[in-house]
Amino acid sequence: MIKTPELYELEYLFECEAEFIDEGIPWQYTTVSFKIARGNLRAEFDLKEASNCGQIRLYLEEEEINKFYIENILNLTIKRINDLESLVIEFDKENFVIPLELQTKPTIKIRWGTSLDLQR
């Protein structure tokens, strides 16, 4: 199972109450969703902790502009530095990707890439 922050910490980061697909099941065993908006940008994060996977969607106003299906998640951590807050998602090393960082404060941004150090 993924190493994750407590549910209340994720709710604090996303400034919302978590939504559950299956209400009667502990959150670690169902899909839990979070949403945050900053100006005309909105990010949605779905997590299936027991399956080590999830999804991130970014919207500009009402239009979906990015969708990331993420698998083989090892860890979720919350990073706070000065006025910046973000969710850092680490993956199995065999995926050859660096951790995905979903910034939630002061604006919404995503940073991600490969770990292959390819020269172009």
Mean pLDDT across 15-35: 88
The answer to whether residue 90 sits within a structural domain is: yes
The answer to whether residue 89 sits within a structural domain is: yes
For residue 30, name the pLDDT band (cuts at 50, 70, 90): confident
pTM given for the model: 0.90
Mean pLDDT across 21-50: 91
Question: From CA 52, how far away is CA 1, in angstroms rounded?
Answer: 7
Question: From CA 11, how far away is CA 31, in angstroms rounded?
Answer: 14
pLDDT > 90 in the chain, percent = 74
The answer to whether residue 11 sits within a structural domain is: yes
pLDDT one-digit tens code per residue, 52-79: 999 999 999 999 999 999 999 999 999 9
Question: From CA 47, how far away is CA 45, in angstroms rounded?
Answer: 7
Burial (0-12, 13-18, 19+ Cβ within 10 Å), 53: middle
The answer to whether residue 1 sits within a structural domain is: no
Instruction: Provide the residue range defining the domain that includes 71.
Output: 7-111
The answer to whether residue 120 sits within a structural domain is: no
Mean pLDDT across 99-120: 87
Total tally of structural domains belonging to the chain: 1
- State yes or no: pLDDT of 34 exceeds 70: yes
The answer to whether residue 116 sits within a structural domain is: no
The answer to whether residue 118 sits within a structural domain is: no
The answer to whether residue 82 sits within a structural domain is: yes
Query: Tokens 């490969």 belong to which residue?
Result: 114
